[in-house]
Chains A and B, each alone.
Chain A
């Protein structure tokens, strides 16, 4: 599955509160479908459908034992989410660092070439310059 499709599948899977509750339970350890279904007021087939969505999204994997098919948290989906979060974090943090520096340039430009509104700013600047 292409990375963006997988990411969309992962986010869609995480959007459902029941599926998040299932993941929270599985974060405590591997378990069977029957055990997983116990705290939920929904049918076993409904739980199975949720598990299929989670499996497709790379959030869980299931054992080969045909009877038990125990579920466990899978790393693939969450690594995709974490990677995406990291990119997002980098984009904003680094953009904001650069914006901070650039605002100083904008302030200097505004002071150097004042429009009608910012004349008082320029006067302040000139006063400082004279003092220095």
Chain B
């Protein structure tokens, strides 16, 4: 399966991806901190983003609508949990209001300065729902021990996706 090489699915409760950019870390970080920038790149192909509220600080909320190519609007709400300039942004999706998808899932984006004006981004998403998050925190080590099991499960998911 192409284009999956940068995704780590070995842990069933989280998902991780990496990407390197030919740009200094301060610039890459800046692209995440302003809705003017975010509007230029956030979302899958064919989507546009309209921000109604943006407060980039711990506890601050980003409210936005993603306009899909099929004409559907997707209400989004992101709450920033932790921010370390040029290093890390932790946030979670969902929660709060009725017009939003009831999925709550936590996400961390880390920024690594690779030198020579290059930057690596690592994004790490933790699957929705509170039990799942608690499980990750409490039993991450145990989950790693079950990698064989989960790799088989991931393989099975992949097989089914093809059939």
Which chain A residues have a beta carbon within 8 Å of chain B's beta carbons? 4-5, 7-8, 11-12, 14-17, 20-21, 23-24, 27, 73, 75, 78-79, 81-82, 85-107, 110
A96–B6 CA distance with the chains assembled, in angstroms: 12
When distances are taken between beta carbons in the complex, the residues of chain A under 8 Å from B116 are none
When distances are taken between beta carbons in the complex, the residues of chain B under 8 Å from A20 are 12, 146, 149-150, 153
When distances are taken between beta carbons in the complex, the residues of chain B under 8 Å from A92 are 17, 123
Q: Is the CB of B44 within 8 A of A91?
A: yes
Contact A91-B161, Cβ < 8 Å, known A17-B143, A96-B121, A110-B27: no
B160 partner, pick from A7, A75, A88, A101, beta carbons under 8 A: A75
A24 partner, pick from B30, B43, B123, B153, beta carbons under 8 A: B153
- Tell me if B's interface is mostly helix, strand, loop or mixed: mixed
Which chain B residues have a beta carbon within 8 Å of chain A's beta carbons? 3-4, 6-7, 9, 12-13, 15, 17, 19, 21-23, 27-28, 30-31, 37, 40-45, 101-103, 121, 123, 125, 127-129, 131-132, 135, 139, 142-143, 146, 149-150, 152-153, 156-158, 160-161
Q: Is the CB of B21 within 8 A of A103?
A: yes
A103–B119 CA distance with the chains assembled, in angstroms: 11
Q: Is the CB of B153 within 8 A of A27?
A: yes
When distances are taken between beta carbons in the complex, the residues of chain A under 8 Å from B41 are 95, 98-99, 101-102
Contact A11-B40, Cβ < 8 Å, known A82-B157, A106-B27, A107-B27: no
Nearest CB in chain B: distance from A84 CB, A: 8
Q: Is the CB of A98 within 8 A of B146?
A: no
Q: Is the CB of B160 within 8 A of A82?
A: yes
Contact A17-B146, Cβ < 8 Å, known A4-B102, A94-B43: yes
Contact A17-B139, Cβ < 8 Å, known A102-B41, A106-B27, A106-B30: yes
Nearest CB in chain B: distance from A32 CB, A: 21
15 contacts between A and B (CB under 8 A): A8-B102, A15-B135, A17-B146, A20-B149, A21-B146, A24-B152, A27-B156, A82-B158, A82-B161, A89-B3, A92-B123, A98-B41, A102-B40, A103-B28, A106-B30
Nearest CB in chain A: distance from B4 CB, A: 7
